[in-house]
Amino acid sequence: REAGLYNEHFGYNTLSEAEKKTIVAQFHSDTIASAENDMLNVIYEYTAKTVNGKEVKYLLVALEFGPSAECIVWAQDIISQPKYANHRVLFNTHSLIQSEGIYATKGASGYWGGLTNNTALDGHQLWSNFISKNPNMFLCASGHVSSETVMRREDKTEYGNNVMSML
């Protein structure tokens, strides 16, 4: 996949030194025109303080539209490392849920456009193979389709934690 325009505006070279330090890992596959500047699949680490002054650690997993199974395995390998056991995980991808609140599927007309790559995982596959398998996952965000309201849904992972997904 071509990522030139995205990386021109949001690539590694556009980040400040402080922002670059938050990057845990970047994923490059043969299906993406990869370069050091490629930021389509990235995991960031942040620490924030609550209003009570307690520090909370986060991982933000940001993946491309229709990530491959190989990309999901890479992300899972990173976030399941013991050093991230106490991090809350946010997941962002281009297309996860549709305006009706159901998980996006390749068969839904208008939602997957020209993406016919069989290695691309749709929203249902991302839930089944990645999101639902993570005990620290708590929030997912996506876009791709427009809606007059903010669409959201809440599901339980295999571990029983609630995950809020928003369009």
> What tokens were used for 145?
């389709």
Residue 56 near residue 47 (C-beta atoms within 8 A): yes
> What residues have CB less than 8 Å from 32, skipping those under 6 apart?
1, 3, 38, 40, 41, 64
Calculate mean pLDDT across residues 134-147.
Answer: 85
3-state DSSP assignment of residue 166: strand
142: Cα within 13 Å, side-chain hemisphere: 30
Percent of the chain with pLDDT over 90: 39
The predicted structure's pLDDT at residue 7: 64
Q: What are the tens digits of pLDDT across the range 57-94? A: 999 998 888 888 888 999 999 999 999 999 999 999 88
The predicted structure's pLDDT at residue 106: 73
What are the beta bridge partners of residue 88?
58
3-state DSSP assignment of residue 137: strand
Q: What are the tens digits of pLDDT across the range 121-132? A: 888 899 999 999
> What tokens were used for 154?
């809440």
Cα angle, residue 124 at apex, residues 120 and 127 outer, rounded to 5°: 100
